[in-house]
Amino acid sequence: MVVVGVTGHRGLTENQASYVAGQARRLLAPLADAGFAGITCLADGADTIVADVVLALGGRLISVIPADGYRDFQPAAHRPDFDRLLRCSAEVRRQDRPTPDPTSLMAASRVLVDDSDWIIAVWDGLPARGSGGTADVVDYARLQRRPVRIIWPAGAVRRPA
């Protein structure tokens, strides 16, 4: 079974989210008949959008929870989606970390990359805004020789942090 890891930006606009969903569907649909899994940390934005595509195509959802308190680390508006996706997960891998911080987030991303055959990165191509950001995960994936397929709408700009 092919396992596809997901990393990417949070706080996407509606247009960016729609584009990401369509491109994720295009990349993942060919895997649906043979069976596949998507592995994600369920953050708002890219993680959630692609997780929904995985489920819609009949894939298995694998969730990596970086630390205790990770749910509360999510924006309040995202928590219902987080809870829903967690319930839909075929497997949940909880990391033994006390709090969600850049170190625990990057550690979870390493698990995600290490357990994937290839990666979907919803990434604008710019450096990470903080330690453990999407650019850092892409760099790690490339160091591990995981193919990375980048999704980003041409000319789109990420929202300010």
How many domains in the chain?
1
Q: How confident is the model at residue 159 (pLDDT cuts 50, 70, 90)?
A: confident
User: Considering the chain, what percentage of its residues have pLDDT values greater than 70?
Assistant: 99
Domain containing residue 106 = 2-151
Q: What is the pLDDT of residue 130?
A: 79
Residue 40 CB neighbour total at 10 angstroms:
26
* Residue at 121 is within a domain: yes
Per-residue model confidence as pLDDT tens digits over 54-108: 999 999 999 999 999 999 999 999 999 999 999 999 999 999 999 999 999 999 9
Tokens representing 55 are 């489920």
DSSP 116-148: -SEEEEE--SSPPSSTT-HHHHHHHHHHTT--E
* Residue at 157 is within a domain: no
* Residue at 161 is within a domain: no
Give me the CATH number covering residue 130.
3.40.50.450
Q: How confident is the model at residue 161 (pLDDT cuts 50, 70, 90)?
A: low
* Residue at 68 is within a domain: yes
Residue 122 sits at the vertex; the CA angle it makes with 12 and 98, to the nearest 5 degrees, is 85
